[in-house]
Amino acid sequence: MTPRRAELPLGGDATRRFIPLIVGAMVYLAALALAGTFALDGTVQQWSDSLRGALTVQLPGVAQDPEGEEAKARIDAAVGLLLETTGVLSASALPYAQSQALLEPWLGAGDLPADLPIPIIVDVSVDTGARINYEDLGQRLEEVVPGARINDNGVFLSRLVTLARAVQLVGLVVVFIVAVAAVSIVVFATRAGMTSHRDTIELLHLIGARDNYIARRFVTHALSYGLAGGLLGLALAVVTLAALALAARGVDQTLLPRLSLDLTAWVALLCVPIASALIAMITARVTVLRALRRLP
C-alpha cells in the first residue's frame, strides 16, 4: 500500500512559523548587499566615463576682482600653455558663477565672503592614449601662473575604483555568508522535523516507503518556506531601496551620486527568492537522504 501524504504532516511543525521569517531576514540582507554591489558598480562606471581623459588645473583666484583683467590674464596664460601641450585636446576655464556653485553645498548659497579668493578652475580634456609628463607640465604652469596646480583625475579614479571594488567584495562576502547561514538553518529545520516525526518515518520505512518519497515530503516543505521567506525578504528589500531612492532625491548630486539599478541588477534581485527556494530544496533533500541511509 502506498503511504498517504497525510501520514507525514510536516505543515504543523513549529518551524513552519519561524523558518520563513528567518529565511526572509537573510534574503533581505542578501538582496540589499547585491543591490549595493550593482549600484556601486554603475556609479563607478559613471565616474570613470566622466573622469577618464580629463583633468583640472587650479589657478589662484583674485579676491578683489574675480572676473577682472588680472584673472583673465591668468586664465589666458594657463589655457595658452595647455593648448600648446601635446595630448591636450581642449582647455577652458569654468565661469566664476559655476565655481561659486561648486562651493555652495559646503558654504551655503550667498554666504561666501566678498574677499574670498575663489580658485579659478580650468577644465582640460586630454587624449587617453597620450603620455603627458604632468610633473613637467605642472612646473611650466607654475612659471606662467605662480600657484597653479594640476589635479590628475586618473590618480583619484584609480583610488576610487580600488575602494569601490573592496566594498563590492565585502558585499559578495555578505551574500556568501547569508547563503551558508541559510543552508545551516535548513539543515537544522529538517533535522528537527525528522526528529519530531521519527516514529512515523521509521514506520513508513518499515512498510516499504522509499527514501525518495520521504525526502520528497521534506523537500516540498522546504520549498514552501524557502520561497515564502524569499518573497517576503525581497519585498522588504524593494521597499527599503525605494525609500532610499526617495530620500536621495533631495541630496545634491555633487555630494552623493545617484545610485541606480539597471535591468541586470533587477533580474539578479528577482532571482534571490528562487535561489533561496533551491537552496532549501537541495539542502533538505541531501539532509534527509543522508539520515535515512542510517536507518535499518
Judgement on whether residues 135 and 189 belong to the same structural domain of the protein:
no
Residue 285, in any domain of the structure: yes
Residue 204, in any domain of the structure: yes
Amino acid 173: pLDDT: 92
CA distance 217 to 194: 11
Judgement on whether residues 68 and 91 belong to the same structural domain of the protein:
yes
Judgement on whether residues 81 and 189 belong to the same structural domain of the protein:
no
Amino acid 29: pLDDT: 93
Judgement on whether residues 72 and 27 belong to the same structural domain of the protein:
no
Judgement on whether residues 115 and 226 belong to the same structural domain of the protein:
no
CA distance 172 to 63: 50
Residue 55, in any domain of the structure: no
Judgement on whether residues 36 and 71 belong to the same structural domain of the protein:
no
Which of 147, 178, 199 corresponds to the end of one domain? Answer: 147
Amino acid 69: pLDDT: 84
Amino acid 2: pLDDT: 43
Domain that holds residue 283: 8-49+164-293
Residue 153, in any domain of the structure: no
Residue 266, in any domain of the structure: yes
Total domain count for the chain?
Answer: 2
Sign of the C-alpha dihedral computed for residues 174, 179, 184 and 188 taken in this order: positive
Judgement on whether residues 192 and 115 belong to the same structural domain of the protein:
no
Judgement on whether residues 45 and 65 belong to the same structural domain of the protein:
no
- pLDDT by position in tens, the chain (length 296): 344 444 555 655 555 668 888 889 999 999 999 998 888 877 777 666 666 677 888 888 877 676 778 888 888 999 899 888 888 888 888 887 777 777 666 666 665 666 677 788 888 888 877 788 888 888 999 888 888 888 876 667 777 778 888 888 998 999 999 999 989 988 888 888 777 767 777 777 677 667 777 778 888 888 888 899 999 999 999 999 988 888 777 665 544 555 678 888 899 999 999 999 999 899 988 888 888 777 66
Residue 173, in any domain of the structure: yes
Amino acid 109: pLDDT: 61
Which of 147, 181, 203 corresponds to the end of one domain? Answer: 147
Which of 97, 122, 147 corresponds to the end of one domain? Answer: 147
Judgement on whether residues 272 and 177 belong to the same structural domain of the protein:
yes
Judgement on whether residues 90 and 236 belong to the same structural domain of the protein:
no
Judgement on whether residues 233 and 95 belong to the same structural domain of the protein:
no
Amino acid 28: pLDDT: 94
pTM, two decimals, is 0.67
Residue 155, in any domain of the structure: no
CA distance 191 to 284: 9
Residue 192, in any domain of the structure: yes
The dihedrals phi and psi of 62, each to the nearest 5 degrees, come to -115, 115
CA distances from 100 to 43, 112, 119, 122, 176 (A): 25, 8, 9, 14, 46
Judgement on whether residues 106 and 212 belong to the same structural domain of the protein:
no
